[in-house]
Amino acid sequence: MTTAPNVVVIDYDAGNLGSVKRAFEECGARVRITGHPEELRQATHLVLPGVGAFNAGMSNLRRSGLEAAIKELAFQKRIPLLGICLGMQLLATKGWEGGETDGLDLIGGEVKLLEAGAGERLPHVGWNEVEYEKSAPLFFNIPSGTDFYFVHSYHFVCRNKSESAATTPYAGRFTSVVQKENICGTQFHPEKSQKPGFQLIKNFLNS
């Protein structure tokens, strides 16, 4: 009998925790929500969700001691980590929402405001395609061009283009999935993206 993954959803006062917990439970994981750094060590998989501004998110992670714990577990001990929406953005080196702010620097890059084109609006809200050129385990059973659900105004600009795992055709084109070894992030909300989102969660749990 296979042991269920032990997922820790990181609570840093950035909201959206309940729906993430339920989605991971429905995908077969045991889930704990916690803001205590020492409890992250119990995880087989870490999830950094979040909605809100980059500077406030990083301030909360630093004040609570979670920044150091996340870096140790994801970078040094190579525990799989999934960032969702703001959580993905916080993986970057630096963000500009609310003023220039250092991020977790787990994936090199900066988080900048989207530049809306003619007929486009910010925030970018709703369903949109996620397209990839190179298949990866995170995309197992998810065809390129599948729609996922977005709510955001900023986007992750990767320093290394190979770490931009998928893109979305809006505001020119922006990176919607980042991945560097055991660390990955989605700009969209898999927990709100129905069957494709749950497939992506299952794929992450299998990593």
What is residue 173's three-state secondary structure?
coil
| Residue partners of 142: CB distance under 8 A and separation at least 6 | 196, 199, 200, 203
3-state secondary structure of 47: strand
The DSSP-derived string for 135-161 is: --GGGTT--TTEEEEEEESEEEEESSG
The rounded Cα 183 to chain-centroid distance in angstroms is 9
Cα distance between residue 11 and residue 22, in whole Å = 15
- Pick the catalytic residue from 67, 97, 163, 191: 191
Is residue 25 part of the annotated active site? The answer reads: no
- Comparing C-alpha atoms, which of 167, 205, 163 is closest to residue 187? 167
- 85 flagged as catalytic: yes
Alpha carbons within 13 A on the beta-carbon side of 95: 28
**181: annotated active-site residue:** no
Name every residue whose Cβ is closer than 8 Å to that of residue 117 and which is 6 or more positions away in sequence: 171, 172
59 alpha-carbon distance from chain centroid: 18
Q: Which of the residues 45, 124, 155, 189 is marked catalytic?
A: 189
Q: Of 85, 110, 155, 158, which residue is the catalytic one?
A: 85
**Catalytic residue set:** 85, 189, 191
